Amino acid sequence: MRFWAFLSYSWSDRPKAVALHRRLEKFVIPRHARHAADPEGPAGRRLRPIFRDDDEMAPSGPLAERLRTAIDEAPAMILLASPASARSHYVNLEVEHFLSGHDPKRLVIIVTGADRPAKPELPPALDRVEDPLWLDARGARKLTRRNLVRVAAVVLDVGFEALWRRHVRYRRQLTALWCALALVVGTVVGMAIVRQLDAEKRSPEQQRAQFVEWMTNNTNAVGLPVDEVKLNITRVDDLDNDGLMEFFVVNETEGYCGSGGCVALVYRTVSPGDYEVVLELLGASTSRVRQAADGSKEVIFSDLSVSREPLYSVYTLRGGKFQLKHHEFCDGLNFEVCTQPMVITPIPWERAPSVEKGTPPLERPSADARVVRIGAGGSTFEGGDYDLEAKGMAQGGEWYLVEVWKGSCGFVPASAVGPHK
């Protein structure tokens, strides 16, 4: 056989026939009934193909050869019965041809229409069939699921009850599968939305707004007027590569800056809305961030100077805080073009060596260098009877960096540096 069934209908019932044909061909055949009608039948899981003629024919004339062949190659017939099909010449010929070579039990009649008389109108060819099987679909928009399975049972030539039970089980399994799929999709979509919202919360702009709100709340908490507090956020950067921003803040509030400059702080974001200070410097100016060889980020401040030229202090994150790594002296060159700076290793204050009193600190590690200039007027440093503070040792150990006055520094030779006091 080439078709599971032949669908016969009047051209005026075409919309209903198209809808029924679509539903029938979507019907999933249970495994036990798949070859019940004919082992040589159409392959596949669904009740497909079902023959439906889509050509409008003349009001009278013999049945076309292709229609007779299609009826012969289909073991069952589905008749869409209505007053129009009962008067249709071709519908009657199709039914008549089917009955001439098939068992009447393989003919299922679906009665449509608006009225419900005791007996439906049927083509004359059915007058000789005793108690034909018909399903009442009058007044309904479409065939009920139970009646759809009845049609499939006739087409497949299997018992209705067994087919219905299997169909109900299949529908339950399909519903469970769809529910599980919907749950998975819902979970995935939900997670995507959560990630999107989290990403929005973690955007630099949003994090900056959260930090400003936090600073404002802190200012209110200590009783300071917000309009009198000036906290300047000079930089926002992710220093520890965790997706959370760090904030560089200079407190420019009146009364908080002195002759040594203003306080600069770096806040690390523990979590959005929770922050801690990881670096605090006095008199620091422009901040910079660069990538280190190991992939970490270094923070550079020019918190020291030599004859009013910046001396760069490099900090790295260690133990949750930014610790001083070394100083870089560029001898007057701008930081961005200083490719080979002199590296000065810091000396902890508790191990700082003493410097011979009266030793003039110089502008650079050179015996013929000038004495450092300090102060707003750039006056030459005047030595006195007091100790200089050694802050670091230059490469080679021949020169030391000393702090002269409020961040102003200079260099002294190693010969003027004694042991730790």
Q: What is the pLDDT of residues 59-94, one digit of tens each?
A: 556 788 889 999 999 999 999 999 999 999 999 999
Query: CA-to-CA distance for 109 and 152, rounded, in angstroms?
Result: 12
Specify the range with the lowest mean pLDDT, choosing from 62-71, 226-235, 410-419: 226-235
Provide the percentage of residues in the chain whose pLDDT is more than 90.
Answer: 32
**Structural domain boundaries of the chain?**
5-158, 203-284, 297-420
- Which residues, other chains included, contact 382 with Cβ-Cβ below 8 Å and sequence gap of 6+? none
* CA–CA–CA angle 15, 60, 64 (5° rounding): 75
Prediction pTM value: 0.52
pLDDT value for 345: 95
pLDDT tier, 232 (very low <50, low <70, confident <90, very high otherwise): confident
Q: Is the pLDDT of residue 36 over 90?
A: no
pLDDT tier, 378 (very low <50, low <70, confident <90, very high otherwise): low
Of 4.10.910.10, 3.40.50.10140, 1.10.10.10, 3.40.50.360, the CATH number of 5-158 is: 3.40.50.10140
Query: CA-to-CA distance for 116 and 185, rounded, in angstroms?
Result: 46
CB 327 within 8 A of CB 311: yes
pLDDT tier, 16 (very low <50, low <70, confident <90, very high otherwise): very high
Q: Indicate the average pLDDT of the chain.
A: 84
Query: CA-to-CA distance for 103 and 101, rounded, in angstroms?
Result: 7
pLDDT value for 344: 95
Q: Is the pLDDT of residue 55 over 70?
A: no
Please state at what angle helix 145-156 crosses helix 14-25, rounded to 10 degrees.
70
pLDDT value for 382: 65
Q: Which residues share a beta bridge with 393?
A: 345, 400
Of the two residues 51 and 228, the one the predictor is more confident about is 51
Of the two residues 10 and 263, the one the predictor is more confident about is 10
pLDDT in tens, 169-199: 887 887 888 888 888 888 888 887 777 666 5
Query: CA-to-CA distance for 309 and 330, rounded, in angstroms?
Result: 9
Query: CA-to-CA distance for 331 and 341, rounded, in angstroms?
Result: 8
pLDDT value for 84: 92
Query: CA-to-CA distance for 40 and 158, rounded, in angstroms?
Result: 17
Q: Which residues share a beta bridge with 300?
A: 288, 314
- Tell me if the bond preceding 310 is cis, omega within 30° of 0: no
pLDDT value for 375: 67
Specify the range with the lowest mean pLDDT, choosing from 213-217, 322-326, 328-332, 396-400: 213-217
Query: CA-to-CA distance for 97 and 75, rounded, in angstroms?
Result: 12
Q: Is the pLDDT of residue 131 over 90?
A: no
258 φ/ψ angles, rounded to the nearest 5 degrees: -125, -165
pLDDT value for 64: 86
pLDDT value for 19: 93
pLDDT value for 206: 86
- Which residues, other chains included, contact 282 with Cβ-Cβ below 8 Å and sequence gap of 6+? 260, 261, 262, 263, 264, 303, 407
Q: Name the residue with tokens 């660069």.
A: 290
From residue 302, alpha-carbon distances to 118, 247, 261, 289, 348 in Å are: 103, 17, 12, 12, 19
Mean pLDDT across 372-397: 75
Tokens of 89: 């010449």
Q: Which residues share a beta bridge with 322?
A: 317
- Which residues, other chains included, contact 300 with Cβ-Cβ below 8 Å and sequence gap of 6+? 287, 288, 289, 290, 312, 313, 314, 315, 328, 335
Of the two residues 192 and 386, the one the predictor is more confident about is 192
pLDDT tier, 262 (very low <50, low <70, confident <90, very high otherwise): confident
Mean pLDDT across 413-417: 92
Of the two residues 421 and 374, the one the predictor is more confident about is 374
Query: CA-to-CA distance for 91 and 84, rounded, in angstroms?
Result: 10
pLDDT in tens, 96-113: 999 999 999 999 999 987
Q: Is the pLDDT of residue 286 over 60?
A: yes
Specify the range with the lowest mean pLDDT, choosing from 47-56, 255-264, 333-342: 255-264
pLDDT tier, 231 (very low <50, low <70, confident <90, very high otherwise): confident
Tokens of 288: 């910079």
